Amino acid sequence: MEFTLYSDFTTAECYALNEQINALGVASRVKWRGVQHVLGLPSPMRLFDRRGQDQTADEVEVVRRIDPALPIAVPVGRPNSQKAIIAVASVMLKASARATPFRDAIYRAYWRDGADISVMAVLQGIADAAGVPRFVELDHPDGEEMTEEWDLDWATERLGGVPRVIRADGKILWGFRPMPDAEAFFQR
């Protein structure tokens, strides 16, 4: 069975679900579609004020309660994720075998190391480390067009927040869930 995942790099639950999908060994059956959960975030990212820091710490705590072993840290700010989403789409189109490792590396760079994934030089460094060939333009116009289609699909589905996984039979997994719940969803 196939699955479609709508996800954003800047939410803790999206990162956690991405790691869970990898642990379950179902990543090859999941069509990842990056969408910006919060529009208008700055590039480069600004440091959190106290309120933003507290809200993000709460997000991280929710993830830690579900999976205490998951490596995750509270980042210092929340960057605009559009460039990162376009970069993954570009790699999907031009070097598909490197897309999943690149996507995983972006999530980890932000949620483990606090990297500013709104900066193209940072994304290029992540791409290099993930083995993405240098001939791949991370801001390719076809990648941008693909992300526009994902945004339209997400808006049409009226799914609200992220992460959301739609199974081929129409069932939806809302958010990050404990491993037994995720296993049951992905095994059907």
Q: What is the CATH number of the domain that holds 41?
A: 3.40.30.10
Asked if residue 188 lies in contact with residue 167, where contact means CB atoms within 8 angstroms, the answer is: yes
For position 39, what pLDDT does the model report?
Answer: 83
Structurally, how many domains does the chain consist of?
1
Q: What is the pLDDT of residue 41?
A: 87
Quote the pLDDT of residue 176.
Answer: 97
* pLDDT computed for residue 175 by the predictor: 95
> What is the pLDDT at residue 76?
96
Question: Which of 53, 41, 141, 135 lies closest to 81 in space, CA to CA?
Answer: 41
Q: What is the pLDDT along the chain (188 residues), one digit of tens a residue?
A: 899 999 999 999 999 999 999 999 999 999 999 999 888 888 999 999 999 999 999 999 999 999 999 999 999 999 999 999 999 999 999 999 999 999 999 999 999 999 999 999 999 999 999 999 999 999 999 999 999 999 999 988 787 789 999 999 999 999 999 999 999 999 96
* Distance between CA atoms of residues 148 and 170, nearest Å: 23
Q: How far apart are CA 2 and CA 11, in angstroms?
A: 23
Question: 126 is in which domain, residue-wise?
Answer: 3-187
Could you tell me if 30 and 106 are in contact, meaning their C-beta atoms sit under 8 angstroms apart? Answer: no
